[in-house]
Structure 1
């Protein structure tokens, strides 16, 4: 079964627009789990424009499913990871000023750095995942780094899905099949929604986890959070 991890960054964005604690990211995380989500994802960026460092520590106390923290592995991020000890740390190559993740790692050029980071995560007992584009050589590089999983950056899949399902999935399937064959777990995230997620799961039956935030929160405005989470779970189970 592919797990659904709900990215709650957008909940924090809404809260931060007015200050205070409405909506509460802690309560939303608890409700997402209660409604069936198998994980919670956050991305505590340095400028704290959505999830704050304090949010991460508060969530540590209440998340009972998988806690996935993603971010660029600088000193600040690694200190948070060491202290919180989430289930999974997803390493992304984002510079501090980008709006959202927009590229995957070059695992060959960054092999030494990533290997050192992943070695430290293993010592802390934390599963590692590398945010990566669909490229077989990058999958081989990820294997050399020692990561447990890769997370496919699925923006290209999502943007071309309606034009041609088969063209959209081709590179992802080839790369993910290769990753699976060399012993890497495969996650996916970015721009996945109710229209494209079931086809992705059908083509990548070994997909372990999807992280979905923006589309899920947008859908929840119309369908309600509980119903939306159940809709995504049903799509993953189709």
Structure 2
């Protein structure tokens, strides 16, 4: 699940078919795109910019593609791009997607110092990797870590980049994160599934919507 806008009032969907397709598969992207189009919702497709992934994205034309530095066999996302180092990989991939009207976001760490490279390679947005924020929530380090994300969002926005966020956000920590002004989209993954099992889907989705709209 992801939510778009601030206040985050419009729901969209995110799918992340990894190179080994161990859960979401490339074949899932087209039907989900059709469903989102029918419902007037955006689809965000996340993945590593390998040729087969890019072929799927280009053929389905979702509203957004988030490029992540997940190599084959990686269990889960655990770091953002070094965009400057990988510019030769990212720039042509982003150009292909931009030519089709697909908005591109790059997954980055909050302390990544060279956010201007996201603009240089053609991305419209960055997605802040929020595991560190989630791990610090409720701890003595929470305020300092939150400020790192606040400053990252401000730096990105000053460069003209939209700011998304995702990873380990849940019902307990999302409201605090959304104290950061101008967050356009948050992606909720495993927490959504677990919370729905524990509390029921109607209650959980209603709670997320309330947080995002406040």
So what's the TM-score if we normalise by structure 1?
A: 0.82
CA distance in 1, matches of 2:159, 2:145: 23
> Does residue 209 of structure 1 match 2:185?
yes
Contact 2:19–2:71 (CA under 8 A) maintained in structure 1: no
Corresponding residue for residue 13 of structure 1: none
- Out of 46, 69, 72, the position equivalent to 2:45 is 69
Report deviation, 1:69.
0.3
Contact 1:132–1:138 (CA under 8 A) maintained in structure 2: no
Corresponding residue for residue 24 of structure 1: none
Q: Deviations over 1:115-154 (max 9, x none)?
A: 2111111101100000000135231221211200000000
> Does residue 99 of structure 1 match 2:75?
yes
CA distance in 2, matches of 1:138, 1:176: 13
CA distance in 2, matches of 1:37, 1:221: 23
So what's the TM-score if we normalise by structure 2?
A: 0.91
Gaps (5+ residues) in structure 1?
A: 6-35
Instruction: Give RMSD over aligned pairs.
Output: 1.5
Contact 1:44–1:52 (CA under 8 A) maintained in structure 2: yes
Q: What is the count of residue pairs matched by the alignment?
A: 205
- Out of 153, 169, 177, the position equivalent to 1:192 is 169
SS at 2:115's partner residue?
helix
Gaps (5+ residues) in structure 2?
A: none
Contact 2:68–2:80 (CA under 8 A) maintained in structure 1: yes
Q: Deviations over 1:74-119 (max 9, x none)?
A: 0011000111100000000001111111110001111232121111
CA distance in 1, matches of 2:209, 2:114: 29
CA distance in 1, matches of 2:167, 2:35: 25
SS at 2:182's partner residue?
coil
- Out of 38, 50, 55, the position equivalent to 2:23 is 50
Contact 2:19–2:48 (CA under 8 A) maintained in structure 1: no
> Does residue 218 of structure 1 match 2:194?
yes
Contact 2:134–2:173 (CA under 8 A) maintained in structure 1: yes
Report deviation, 1:167.
1.6
Contact 1:198–1:235 (CA under 8 A) maintained in structure 2: yes
- Identify the structure with the greater helix proportion: 1
Corresponding residue for residue 4 of structure 1: 3
